[in-house]
Amino acid sequence: MYRLLDAVVTFHRSLPPARMKSFKAAKHALSLAEVDVKEIQSLIYTGVCREHFEPATAFAVAAGLEINPHSTIYSISNACLGALNGIIDTANRIELGQIRAKLVVSCETAREINDITIDRMLERKEMSFFAEGLATLTLEGRAPGRYC
């Protein structure tokens, strides 16, 4: 079991952080849309996952893309609705004539949560560790129209 755990740890820690995945996704989206990065007047990062509280992941992505320094750059964190909030904000700002092009980028990863869990697993190599965090789900089937 320990060799498998060590292999999982090694693989997991080789994965790139959210800011790198976001940067790659943003570059790919701009390429597919045939939009020059110079046209982007605003960038918003809408993912929940981030490596740091500050500076915002939005700024790391913007710096990587070399977004115009006069662009508005910010993050929205609203769980699963963050991306939708970013899209609505973008549509509103375009409709109001405030901007012509905005990039909404998001990347979800459980890297930080997994790092903490893996470190704890490596400290306590015993099955009781898993039992403490075990989640359960109970389902019950009932015939339509029957509530008791």
With CA atoms as reference, report the closest residue to 84 among 101, 106, 60, 61.
106
Looking at the domain assignment, is residue 12 inside a domain? no
Quick check: 45 pLDDT over 50? yes
> Where do runs of H (alpha helix) occur along 34-140?
57-65, 82-95, 111-123, 128-132
Residues with catalytic roles:
54, 80
Give residue 146's pLDDT: 53
**pLDDT-derived band of residue 7, with 50, 70 and 90 as boundaries?**
very low
47 within a domain of the structure (yes/no): yes
With respect to residue 56, please indicate whether it lies within any of the assigned structural domains.
Answer: yes
Output the CA–CA distances (angstroms, integers) from residue 18 to 61, 117, 120, 128, 130, in the order listed: 10, 18, 22, 31, 27
CA distance 90 to 55: 22
CATH of the domain at 28: 3.40.47.10
Give me the domain span that covers residue 49. Answer: 18-108
pLDDT at 79: 76
Residue 100: inside a domain: yes
Give per-residue pLDDT as tens, 46-90: 887 776 667 788 888 898 899 988 999 999 888 778 888 999 999
